[in-house]
Amino acid sequence: MDIFKSLDQYTKQIKDRIAASAAAVCVMKDNEIIHEWYSGNHHFHNGARKIDESSQFNVYSTRVTYVGLAAAIAINDGAVKSLDDPISKYIPFYDNIILGNTTIRHLVTRTTGLQFQGNGSVVRKYKEGTFFEGKKPEVLAAVIKNATGKTVAEIINERVLKPLGLTQTEWRTEGKETLVCDINDPNSYPTLRLESNEGSDRNLYVTARELALWGNLHLNRGDFNGQQILPKDLFENVTSIMTPDTLPVHLPRLGYFWWIQDKHVTNSEIGPDLPEGTYQILGASGCSCTVIPNHKAVVVRMTNSLWTFGGKNGFDYIADIQKFGYLVEQALNEYSKVHC
d(CA 55, CA 40): 11
Question: What are the tens digits of pLDDT across the range 63-112?
Answer: 999 999 999 999 999 999 999 999 999 998 899 999 999 999 999 999 99
Q: Which of 304, 317, 311 is nearest to 183 (CA)?
A: 304
Give the range among 1-5, 122-126, 193-197, 328-332 with minimum mean pLDDT.
Answer: 1-5
pLDDT at 1 over 70: no
Question: What average pLDDT does range 114-126 have in this prediction?
Answer: 92
Coil vs helix vs strand at 98? helix
Query: What is the tens place of the pLDDT at every residue in 43-76?
Result: 999 999 999 999 999 999 999 999 999 999 999 9
Return all residues near 172 (Cβ < 8 A) that are at least 6 apart.
Answer: 179, 192, 194, 197, 203, 205
- How far, in Å, CA of 56 to CA of 168, rounded? 7
The answer to whether the beta carbons of residues 288 and 272 sit under 8 Å apart is no
* Structure confidence at residue 187 (pLDDT): 78
- Mean pLDDT of all residues in 206-225: 98
For the segment 271-292, the average pLDDT, to the nearest whole number, is 96
Please give the average per-residue pLDDT across 22-50, as a whole number: 97
Angle subtended by helix axes 64-77 and 137-148, to nearest 10: 30
Confidence of residue 254 (pLDDT cuts 50, 70, 90): very high
Q: State the pLDDT at residue 150.
A: 98
* Model confidence at 177: pLDDT above 70: yes
| Predicted local distance difference test score (pLDDT) of residue 310 | 53
Give the pLDDT band of residue 168 (cuts 50, 70, 90): very high
CB proximity list for 234: less than 8 A, separation 6 or greater: 72, 73, 76, 222
**Pairing verdict, β 297-303 and 288-292:** antiparallel
Q: What is the pLDDT of residues 286-314, one digit of tens each?
A: 999 999 999 999 999 999 998 755 555 57
Q: What stretches of 81-225 adopt beta strand conformation (E)?
A: 114-116, 122-124, 169-171, 204-206, 223-224
Q: What is the mean pLDDT of the chain?
A: 95
**Model confidence pLDDT, tens digit, residues 182-215:** 998 777 778 999 999 999 999 999 999 999 999 9
What does the CA dihedral 94, 98, 99, 100 come to, rounded to 10 degrees?
140
pLDDT at 25 over 60: yes
**pLDDT value of position 313:** 59
